[in-house]
Amino acid sequence: MDPDFPLLSVFLYMLWFFAFVLWIWLLVSVITDVFRSHDLSGWAKAGWTAAIIVLPCLGVLGYLIVRGGSMHERNRAAAEQNERAWRSYLREAAGTSRADELGKLAHLHDQGIISDVEYERGKTKILA
């Protein structure tokens, strides 16, 4: 680094720091995806993990080339499962069932408080 340009040095250190953080995030994402994959056997998971640990650059690059296309599908499935678990927990904590919510919604519709469109939208939201 040239001492004549301290701002450039700070910028380059920040650039290297953020590149390091990005690399750590990528490693964690790939290793998480390896263990999240239900279509891989135990030996395949061990092999990918060993490849990522022993040769990190080649292991991550190889994994992203071979299995990177389906990473988003596994992430989406995990997010949907977490969402369903969260909704189930909220329903249990609130002490109301879907039938109770549908009954309240139908009561509001029968009284004319909500329109047909709002009723259908609420019904699909409850049943989802």
Q: What is the pLDDT of residues 41-82, one digit of tens each?
A: 999 999 999 999 999 999 999 999 999 888 989 889 999 999
Q: Which residue has the tokens 């380059």?
A: 12
Tokens of 110: 């029968």
Q: What is the pTM of this model?
A: 0.60
Q: What percentage of the chain exceeds 70 in pLDDT? A: 96
Q: Residue 26's pLDDT is what?
A: 93
Q: What does the radius of gyration of the chain's CA atoms come to, in whole angstroms?
A: 25
CA-CA distances (angstroms) from residue 20 to 33, 53, 111?
A: 20, 16, 60
**CA separation for the pair 9, 7 (Å, rounded):** 5
Helix (H, G, I), strand (E, B) or coil at 128: coil
3-class DSSP state for residue 107? helix
